[in-house]
A and B are shown apart, each in its own frame.
Chain A
């Protein structure tokens, strides 16, 4: 891929990644301005849920880059990994901000009790917390400075994937179909890596 084409492709991905946020902001504006039904009867719940869902989706997409690259041989895919990961972090951060700022509001100190006492919030908060160092060290400078340790640090994303799925799974009341879908995807993407490790490495180039 030429640098120009890569730039175009990246722009398209940025626009696609920002579209859900733009739609949400537009709907929030409509609700605030006109009291419309754009976000249903319980806008706060809808905002929280949607932001969380997009964080999880971008996390899954970031985790899918390496297996897809190995399957297709398209080395260029790795050039999109950082932005997908950063969008996961951005949506996860907005998800947390919405929980504290829109939902708990005057009762925001309840967050600490929630983190300590509610396992689904504990794992969700932990997932976000672990994303922070990954986002901070995502710059080219940090990648250079950390050297081999960078890759080691960024294996945290596997744990984050598991925690994020648990967060979703543990909050649903009885219909586990949607979290199960994401659990399946994360299991598949992590399972692929385990399976690859167990493969004989005699002909590494044959898979490229």
Chain B
């Protein structure tokens, strides 16, 4: 399995986690890095009237000084129902997923639709590192260093038209490679979607790696979505299709339980899941397993309100949960 070849990630695959953590601390000490490929994010397509976020605001969300989740935990505790519904199922079952070659069909309302290889999709876009909090709708959270490219930079290549109000994503659903797909736990294939301005937001990442390494299968190899201000299930894995659409696309969890999982699914402590509270979360982080995971308050937009709250100005977030 490889990341896209140009340019390769220097030495990423051989960095031990401890060294990696030290390096993170050093980088954090050096302070904010200069602008990372943000040119053009201001042009983000409709709705054009909204001021989204300045590059400085966006960059302040690119990393966090919070303690990282162990790589072993982030790669063994996964909700990837295509490989089984137990948290530790994907880490073993997903080994059967073949990620090369990989093609993504991009279509819908855009000037340059096409079926492109993963390499072509990401060509010329150097992977960036983002350290994001990930809040699961089940009430736990992690802090994960991702590698990836801003989704907006990829989408712009296909020149979405003014009719592209939303972006729909589809996961691979191959019963031969994915034993969980043989069981109707969800209406396969897994589907997700974003409003176009959410998709173009500089925090929205098309991830190809984590912890300086290529994405393991159980984390959604070779290509997954990471939207840090939304509940984790919005981060669709193993993407095979991206479609520009005019109306709000169907999403897997919303189809399964519309009263519990909304299209937006922004992290919001003020809106409980109908069956459990979302006010607090168990933080799975630290260099060793903790018997007593820390319980911390959940923040609006998962702590990214400064970057994304303006996207939802004037919206009733209790209604559009």
A: residues with CB less than 8 A from B are 28, 31-32, 34-45, 102-107, 110, 113-114, 117-120, 170-171, 173-175, 177
Contacts and interface: CB of A to CB of B under 8 A. Distances in A.
Contacts of A104: 295
A22 to B, nearest CB: 17
A174 B73 contact: no
A103 B277 contact: no
B147 to A, nearest CB: 21
User: Which 10 residue pairs across A and B have the least CB separation, nearest first?
Assistant: A35-B288, A41-B77, A41-B73, A175-B85, A175-B185, A32-B291, A31-B291, A35-B289, A31-B289, A174-B185
B279 interface: yes
Contacts of A32: 291
B110 interface: no
Contacts of A118: 275-277
A174 B256 contact: yes
18 contacts: A34-B288, A41-B73, A41-B74, A41-B87, A42-B284, A43-B289, A43-B291, A44-B291, A44-B293, A102-B291, A103-B295, A105-B292, A106-B295, A107-B295, A117-B272, A119-B275, A120-B275, A173-B257
Interface of B: 69-70, 72-74, 76-77, 81, 85, 87-88, 138, 140, 183, 185-186, 256-257, 272, 275-277, 279-280, 282, 284, 287-293, 295
B213 to A, nearest CB: 18
Contact of A35 (B183, B256, B284, B290): B290
B93 to A, nearest CB: 14
B88 A40 contact: yes
A44 B164 CA distance: 44
Name the prevailing secondary structure of the B interface residues. Answer: loop
Name the prevailing secondary structure of the A interface residues. Answer: helix
A151 B222 CA distance: 61
A119 B272 CA distance: 13
* Residue from A44, A104, A174 with most neighbouring chain B CB atoms (10 Å): A174
Nearest to B85: A175
Contacts of B289: 31, 35-39, 41, 43
B295 A105 contact: yes
Contact of A42 (B256, B257, B276, B293): B293
Contacts of A34: 288
A170 B275 CA distance: 8
Given A37-B76, A44-B282, A28 B291 contact: yes
B77 A43 contact: no
Contacts of A44: 282, 291-293
Given A35-B287, A103-B295, A41 B85 contact: no
Contacts of B77: 40-42
* Residue from A45, A102, A114 with most neighbouring chain B CB atoms (10 Å): A45
A40 B275 contact: no
B85 A40 contact: no
* Residue from A35, A39, A120 with most neighbouring chain B CB atoms (10 Å): A35
Contacts of B85: 174-175
Contacts of A174: 81, 85, 185-186, 256-257
